[in-house]
Structure 1
Amino acid sequence: ERLTGLESLLCNGSLTVREFVRAVAKSELYKSKFLYNSFQTRVIELNLKHLLGRAPYDESEVIYHLDLYQNKGFEADIDSYIDSAEYDENFGDFIVPYYRGFSTQTGQKVVGFTRMFRLYRGYANSDRAQVEGKASRLASELALNSVSAVVGPSGGSEGWAYRASEKGVTPNKTFRSPTREGRIYRLEVSGMNLPRYPKVRRISKELLVPYEKLSDTLQQINKMGGKVASITLA
């Protein structure tokens, strides 16, 4: 699946890289892969990832692009990314957009770092071949203005099978205590198994553990082959 006509125009100098990227993003091939069958928030996540190399910073950014899409159409929304000052400063006319979310740059919000891990899952992965399918990765997180745990790609085996609640219903600050001894921690765990049972790699668990039992619980998880994705106050 290639856009050979556009490739020819790029190779003979008739198009700059910026205009080539614009044409690809507006093509039927791109729309069939990333627009027609996706929830609109997911479309915006992918546009930001593909065209600006980062994840959404906040819900207002998603709302802006959603309004632009609804009022002026998909192509106008694509133009808003490629004609932006951010695109111009980072890529200009002759640099192919690349993933910037893993580096620190002027004007870049730190929250984009952790959210980029929700959108980018490693070199041997694609946007249409992830465990979560066509669902938005960041809708609940953006609505709650929260930050997700960084879960490594599958090749790293560091808790990668953990999947956050789709509706963001996991309690965040339910049992908080002013003293260390009274606190309860929420552990996000994946891959736990016992030797006599086959390992199910994509099962996730969330445990509420008192501070006094935290160390023992972590040791038990380790013995069962589990990976801790995050530890937060409950």
Structure 2
Amino acid sequence: MTFGPASRLGVARFEETPPVELLPGRSEEDVEAVIAAVYRQVLGNAYVMESERVVVSESQLKLGAISVREFVRQVAKSDLYKSRFFDSCPRYRYTELAYKHLLGRAPDGFEEMKYHSTVLDQQGFEADIDSYIDSDEYQEKFGEFTVPFYTGYKTQTGKKMVGFTHLFKMLRGASSSDLKGSLAGKSPVLNASAIQGTPLAVIAPSSASNGWSFQKPTSSPSVPLKVGDQMYRIEITGYRSKAVNRISKFRRSNRVKLVPFDKLSEEYQRIHRDGGVIASITPV
């Protein structure tokens, strides 16, 4: 289930574009489309010059010697990826981007960040890339022949709501780039929010000064609060009229609820079950 109207949240293109797969009987054009989609996803929509392409791996994919998954692995392990997102970025920035590029979501909290930090310390960069691509999650989502795509903006079984809100701070439209198009630059976008498991405001993109930059709300606390202390304002729209004859299809006007942190996930699920659409979630 998509969170809110996709066009309002900047993810309409992702919602409307089907996954890119390399199917049996593929044509040259199909393979080229897969290659372009892998570069776009794994490199965070950054421009790739001809001299930077991993041409040997491209040739192997065209010949059927490797699967799409293995091509994704080679691009993620390439000097191009390593120099852009690992060597030049702080560790937590690299980790949050690796989750976005390879699993299509934001990290799900401190334990996931800590796990990959341990892999990096003990086994190094290439082993860390393998830990994403060889994971059960990758296999279940994408398998051998589907290019990874963004999934974190939809509700997902077994995943925390905080990761869902975090992705919207990292993914602000199909034209944004993780290399030069992010306001955060090379600094971590989530940082304390991911470590503490704190949900962030979800604000629809609109303009440079209101929403699109997805800036941290000024009302956010400067020190961590205990679970349940922070209140969140949920703006809800999309409820259909519950007239007895069920004829009316007009939407009700927006409703607002104030919910404590420890009830946020429960309320979020209830709203979706009732057919509502969440327009925004902001800390009070």
Tell me, yes or no, whether TM beats 0.5: yes
> Helix, strand or coil: the match of 1:21?
helix
**Match status 1:73 vs 2:124:** yes
Alignment of 1:158-173 (within 5 A): 158-164=210-216, 170=222
**Match status 1:145 vs 2:197:** yes
| Residue identity (%) | 45
Q: Which amino acid aligns with 1:29?
A: L
Look up the match of 1:117: 168
Aligned counterpart for 1:132 among listed residues 159, 184, 197:
184
Structure 2 gaps of 5+ residues are 1-48, 234-279
**Match status 1:85 vs 2:136:** yes
The alignment's TM-score, normalised by the length of structure 1, stands at 0.70
- Give the whole-Å Cα distance in 1 for the aligned partners of 2:121 and 2:127: 10
- Is the CA contact (8 Å cut-off) linking 2:102 and 2:133 kept in structure 1? yes
Aligned counterpart for 2:114 among listed residues 63, 66, 81:
63
What's the offset of the Cα at 1:52? 0.6
Structure 1 gaps of 5+ residues are 178-183, 187-228
- Give the whole-Å Cα distance in 2 for the aligned partners of 1:185 and 1:51: 31
Residue-by-residue CA offset, 1:93-148 (whole Å, 9 max, x unaligned): 00111001012233232222111111111111100221111110111102322111
What's the offset of the Cα at 1:150? 1.0
- Give the whole-Å Cα distance in 2 for the aligned partners of 1:123 and 1:27: 24
**Match status 1:19 vs 2:70:** yes
Look up the match of 1:225: none
- Give the whole-Å Cα distance in 2 for the aligned partners of 1:125 and 1:74: 26
- Give the whole-Å Cα distance in 1 for the aligned partners of 2:168 and 2:182: 12
Look up the match of 1:104: 155
The alignment's TM-score, normalised by the length of structure 2, stands at 0.58
- Give the whole-Å Cα distance in 1 for the aligned partners of 2:104 and 2:84: 18
Alignment of 1:30-41 (within 5 A): 30-41=81-92
Look up the match of 1:47: 98
Q: Which amino acid aligns with 1:85?
A: D
Q: Which amino acid aligns with 1:131?
A: L
Structure with more relative contact order (C-alpha pairs < 8 Å, separation 6 or more): 2
- Give the whole-Å Cα distance in 2 for the aligned partners of 1:131 and 1:39: 15
Distance of aligned partners of 1:172 and 1:13 in 2 relative to their CA distance in 1, 3 Å threshold: same
Q: Which amino acid aligns with 1:137?
A: V
Aligned length: 184
Q: Runs of 4 or more off by more than 6 Å in structure 1?
A: none
Residue-by-residue CA offset, 1:57-89 (whole Å, 9 max, x unaligned): 111100000010011000001111111111111
What's the offset of the Cα at 1:17? 0.4
> Helix, strand or coil: the match of 1:95?
coil
